[in-house]
Amino acid sequence: MASDRERFEFAFQDRYRMPLSLLGIRPGTACVVVDEEGLTIRFGPWRLHSSLDNVRDARRTGPYREWRVIGPRLSLADRGVTFGTTSASGVCIRFATAVPALLPAGWPRHSAATVTVTDPDRLVARLTRDATPHPPPSASTRRLPEVTIGAQPP
């Protein structure tokens, strides 16, 4: 695990600066930080924190439909959270264990977070460098029977 601290700024699309600022989301209050403490997303009054061991993977995504990405958003399909400031591109970060972010009570917990940072490729590289390998969520823990091909030993 790397011990250096990296800060990733959100990419604010001009037409959304004013509406987002009414929610307390501005360049000075929105960032992603990756360090030895883990991954921290700050988005105005919203926070998400996860250890780097909990990051399953990260990939670049987008472009997005504006009505699905701007602001803090909850996906009803997979309970993922989006912290969006532009429709151009971002990073989808998936977690091994779901984490809280939108509500102070810790519910709902989110299996993924999408962030629209200025340098998505650098964030993906940092998170995949530090990520701990996890089995896919649908992987079965059952052991398959052994199959022998060819002659059996005497």
C-alpha distance from residue 28 to each of 31, 32, 71, 140 (Å)? 8, 12, 15, 44
In CATH terms, is domain 6-130 a member of 2.30.29? Answer: yes
**How many other C-beta atoms can be found within 10 angstroms of the C-beta atom of residue 95?**
21
Distance from C-alpha of 34 to C-alpha of 90, rounded to nearest angstrom: 16
Structure tokens at 90: 């971002």
Structure tokens at 66: 């504006």
pLDDT one-digit tens code per residue, 34-88: 999 999 999 999 999 999 999 999 999 999 998 889 999 998 878 899 999 999 9
The pTM assigned to this predicted structure is 0.82
Question: Which among 42, 101, 45 has a CA at the least distance from the CA of 74?
Answer: 101
Question: Residue 66's pLDDT is what?
Answer: 87
